[in-house]
Amino acid sequence: MAISNQNLIVLSKFALKAKKHIGLVKVADLVSNERYAVDVFAQAALSGNPELIVLTKKISQEFDLGVNLINAIESYLDGLKANNRSDEFLDDCNYFLVKLTHHLYRIKIDGASYRQAVEKLLNDVEATDRTFCINLAREFYRSWRSANRSIAEVTRDQSLKLVAQKEEFMRVWESIDFAFLSDEDMAALALYTESMIQKSLVEKDIIISQKIAKVILLELRNDPTNTEDSYREAIDRTLVLFERLDLKTFFLIVSREFYQFWQANE
């Protein structure tokens, strides 16, 4: 770990803060021993102290050390808290997660390497704790794998997902005239159609506008809250599925016009 006077000050501050929550931290070892530093960062990230956790994330990012591991820990803990797990359960997870993360240092990001790390963990705990550790490792793997995915891998997955979404969108677009709409949807569409007729729009534009409005109505079913935010999010999700610039522009125009009619029937 490269060190400067400013780095030394930050690390000393971290060690002082960490001492209160995870015990003695040796600044010299943080500088000279990456594995020791990563172990300490993992313990600090699991300390439960918000200030120490924020400081840990800042230092790991500044030194580019253990960043993905800390992100994985944070993601995993957020999931546990969202499921309202007991304090006792969280304490047990923290204890064994520190042991597991020690074996994850610089291993390959694949299932085989992770299983080997888990085997080392199981050899390091009591037989009565092995079932708990196996379940912990299985659940933590998703967070660890996700945090370590490369940018290229994420981009590839996003591209594949977008292609699939566009293919599904084309199927929806081609069959949109046969889509089932509720009475409220039909009322909003009828009002919108009447407004276009009064504006003397050509029939072709009216037909396309109706199809776009139906697409919006179908997308809105994915969020039953029926708020301004849900409408805006539905528009954002759908806009990326149009490839031609002229259709994107037309879609945005229709989405703005149709909103008042949709809102009036909610």
pLDDT tens by residue, 135-145: 999 999 999 99
Closest CA to 265 of 211, 233, 234, 220: 220
pLDDT tens digits for 46-98? Answer: 999 999 999 999 899 888 899 999 999 999 998 888 888 888 999 999 999 99
- pLDDT recorded at residue 151: 53
192-226 pLDDT per residue, tens: 999 999 999 999 999 999 999 999 999 998 877 78
pLDDT (mean) for 110-118? 93
Return d(Cα 90, Cα 78) in angstroms, integer.
Answer: 11
Which ranges of 46-124 does DSSP label H, i.e. alpha helix? 50-63, 67-82, 87-102, 111-122
Task: Enter the pTM of the model.
Answer: 0.55
